[in-house]
Amino acid sequence: MTESFSTRLNNAMALRELKQIDFVRAAEKFNIKLGKSHMSQYVSGKNVPRADIAHFLAAYLHVNEDWLMGADVPMEEHAANLPEPSDEPLQHDDATTEQSTEGKKTMRTFTKSHKLDNVLYDVRGPVADEAARMEAAGTHILKLNIGNPAPFGFRTPDEVVYDMSQQLPDTEGYSPSKGLFSARKAIMQYAQLKNIPNVSIDDIYTGNGVSELINLSLSALLDNGDEVLVPSPDYPLWTACVNLAGGTAVHYICDEDSEWYPDIDDMRSKITDKTKAIVIINPNNPTGALYPKEVLQQIVDLAREHQLMIFSDEIYDRLVMDGLEHVSIASLAPDLFCVTFSGLSKSHMIAGWRVGWMVLSGNKRLAKDYIEGLNMLANMRMCSNVPAQSVVQTALGGHQSVKDYLVPGGRIYDQRELVYNMLNDIPGITAVKPKAAFYIFPKIDVKKFNIHSDEQFALDLLHDKHILISHGGAFNWHEPDHFRVVYLPRISMLKETIGEIGDFFSTYWQA
């Protein structure tokens, strides 16, 4: 049976020891339009390249173009050649024309914006697309790829549901663009409890989840060429939104050997005169790490030295285990300008309601013009979901039922213990114990399993065991040696599922 294009592409990449990003960077030198999302689609087998891109891929791999596209010819005979590098600027046409079959007129076709060339969100990418295709064909898929509590039996607290039902008739109109007074007042008081300094009600913005506010806050800040330090691994929306806003996401390493804490020396080495801000995700997705005060202080010192903004994604700040305490980095930086993000999606199990917020704090005089930009963008989207805003005061002020899940005997705690122990019992798999959230980011011994593509591993696991996980590359981790597991399913299901993953690895050898 003739091998597919994606199989041959992966095999040739492994033989030449090349990664997807190598092709993207090489294409830039030849003024060839090839983005990260394109390469991801080709490697996964989701799409086949057009002729000019196929020629470039074959030439860069030094293989026969017909062989790469699946023909039964020798791999290296008559290998394709690279074109001469061009000094002309890369053309970014938004439309192309095709000659019709009659040859009498041209038809205009439309392509996606080239602003998306370096934008990826592979948590819901090719592997998830394949899972959806399999489901549509009748295959049951166990989804461990997205932190969505509802499908696994986590329910919204009754008091929150009741309060929304009572207030629903009063939430039919727009709210002020920043949000309802009652919601912002409760968020302001919560920020005060977290010791976040210099926060007034005007510094609170509600959003349709933190995701909307990440996009809004970066769009208001970045000009083309500006750089933002983003963790690796990260929640990929941060990298995507930096790139979409015209900036460049520069990834600093989080160190697995040090509880996945940020590598401060690596962070320091990547600061340039173009760097505007540092992003931290604490508690961290995908690793489940919780950063201690000492590490946060080092980041603050670095931001202070280089006069950088701090963006802190703290959506999991109420899902902390082992008697530990979450510290908001803004509480350590009264002289800096900080933007802190949080919400109710995870702590109150209402991911679908889309209620998040951001808090501006510290030295706001440094960001007067930026805040005008934030206000402009907030006004343009009118307001966030008003019914969801209506429950913020109740949710933050009442009994925090999520705490019951986070102690021994609680679901999240016990599920973490099971997953952590079972994964570490699989030969070739190791994992750092998460301290917060509901994710674990295990490491694979790639030599033991001959893994050269973590996305291919995820597809193989999906096809063999009908288990959907997210590969490490989806979180901007640049080695094919990690994957993320969401440990929200109940103990019995988790025990069976991790057992199936162990069985998969017992015979796995990547082609």
283: amino acid identity, one letter: P
Among residues 433, 427, 440, 434, the alpha carbon closest in space to that of 508 is found at 427
Distance CA 413, CA 435 (A): 10
Please give the residue that has the higher pLDDT: either 140 or 152.
Answer: 140
Q: How high is the pLDDT of residue 2?
A: 61
What is the full DSSP assignment across 123-182? Answer: GGSHHHHHHHHHHHTT---EE-SS---GGGT----HHHHHHHHHHGGG-SSPPPTT--HH
Q: Per the omega criterion (within 30 degrees of 0), is the bond before 334 cis? A: no
Rounded to 5°, the CA angle 456-459-465 comes to 135
Cα four-point dihedral sign 209, 210, 211, 216:
positive
Q: Under DSSP, is residue 381 helix (H, G, I), strand (E, B) or coil?
A: coil
Give the side-chain half-sphere CA count within 13 A for 107: 7
Same domain, 16 and 139: no
pLDDT at residue 360 greater than cutoff 70? yes
Q: How high is the pLDDT of residue 22?
A: 87
Is the residue at 368 inside a domain?
A: yes
Q: How high is the pLDDT of residue 90?
A: 45
The share of the chain scoring above pLDDT 70, in percent, equals 94
Instruction: Please compute the mean of the pLDDT values over residues 428-433 and round it to a whole number.
Output: 97
Distance CA 508, CA 503 (A): 9
Is the residue at 343 inside a domain?
A: yes
pLDDT at residue 427 greater than cutoff 80? yes
Question: In this structure, are residues 144 and 497 in contact, taking their beta carbons and an 8 Å threshold?
Answer: yes
Please give the residue that has the higher pLDDT: either 69 or 116.
Answer: 69
pLDDT at residue 204 greater than cutoff 70? yes
Q: How high is the pLDDT of residue 167?
A: 83
Is the residue at 373 inside a domain?
A: yes
pLDDT class for 83, splitting at 50, 70, 90?
low
Q: How high is the pLDDT of residue 483?
A: 95
Total Cβ atoms within 10 A of residue 351: 20
Instruction: Please compute the mean of the pLDDT values over residues 192-200 and round it to a whole number.
Output: 95
pLDDT at residue 94 greater than cutoff 60? no
Q: How high is the pLDDT of residue 92?
A: 46
Same domain, 162 and 227: yes
The share of the chain scoring above pLDDT 90, in percent, equals 59
Distance CA 279, CA 380 (A): 25
pLDDT at residue 103 greater than cutoff 80? no
Is the residue at 100 inside a domain?
A: no
pLDDT at residue 465 greater than cutoff 90? yes
Determine which of 161-165, 407-411, 453-457 has the lowest per-residue pLDDT on average: 161-165
Same domain, 201 and 173: yes
pLDDT at residue 485 greater than cutoff 50? yes
Distance CA 253, CA 288 (A): 15
Q: What is the CATH number of the domain that holds 464?
A: 3.90.1150.10
Quick: pLDDT tens for 136-150: 999 999 888 888 888
Same domain, 362 and 450: no
Q: Under DSSP, is residue 46 helix (H, G, I), strand (E, B) or coil?
A: coil
For 85, phi then psi, to 5°, come to: -55, 140
Q: With 0-12 CB in 10 A as exposed, 13-18 as middle and 19+ as buried, what is 87?
A: exposed
Q: What is the CATH number of the domain that holds 383?
A: 3.40.640.10
Is the residue at 97 inside a domain?
A: no
Q: What is the CATH number of the domain that holds 60?
A: 1.10.260.40
Return the structure tokens found at 287.
């690793």
Q: What's the mean per-residue pLDDT of the chain?
A: 89
Q: How high is the pLDDT of residue 251?
A: 95
Quick: pLDDT tens for 15-66: 888 888 889 888 888 888 887 777 887 887 777 888 888 889 999 999 999 8
What torsion do the CA atoms of 422, 428, 433, 436 make, to the nearest 10 degrees? -90
Q: Which of 397, 426, 461 is the C-terminal boundary of a domain? A: 397
Distance CA 480, CA 445 (A): 10
Q: Per the omega criterion (within 30 degrees of 0), is the bond before 283 cis? A: yes
Quick: pLDDT tens for 377-426: 999 999 888 998 988 988 888 778 888 899 999 999 999 999 999 999 99
Pairing between β-strand 439-440 and β-strand 95-99 as defined by DSSP bridges: unpaired
Same domain, 164 and 218: yes
Same domain, 179 and 128: no
Is the residue at 290 inside a domain?
A: yes
Is the residue at 257 inside a domain?
A: yes
Distance CA 454, CA 381 (A): 38
Same domain, 311 and 234: yes
- Structural domain for 203, as ranges: 158-397
Same domain, 268 and 207: yes
Q: How high is the pLDDT of residue 157?
A: 83
Quick: pLDDT tens for 291-328: 999 999 999 999 999 999 999 999 999 999 999 999 99
Same domain, 147 and 166: no
Q: Which of 397, 429, 451 is the C-terminal boundary of a domain? A: 397
Instruction: Please compute the mean of the pLDDT values over residues 187-196 and round it to a whole number.
Output: 95
Q: Is the full-model pTM beyond 0.75?
A: yes
> How long is the chain?
511
Q: Which of 350, 378, 397 is the C-terminal boundary of a domain? A: 397
Instruction: Give the total number of structural domains in the chain.
Output: 3
Same domain, 243 and 138: no
Is the residue at 212 inside a domain?
A: yes
Same domain, 190 and 76: no
Same domain, 42 and 135: no
pLDDT at residue 14 greater than cutoff 50? yes
pLDDT class for 274, splitting at 50, 70, 90?
very high
Distance CA 488, CA 145 (A): 10
pLDDT at residue 99 greater than cutoff 70? no
pLDDT at residue 126 greater than cutoff 60? yes
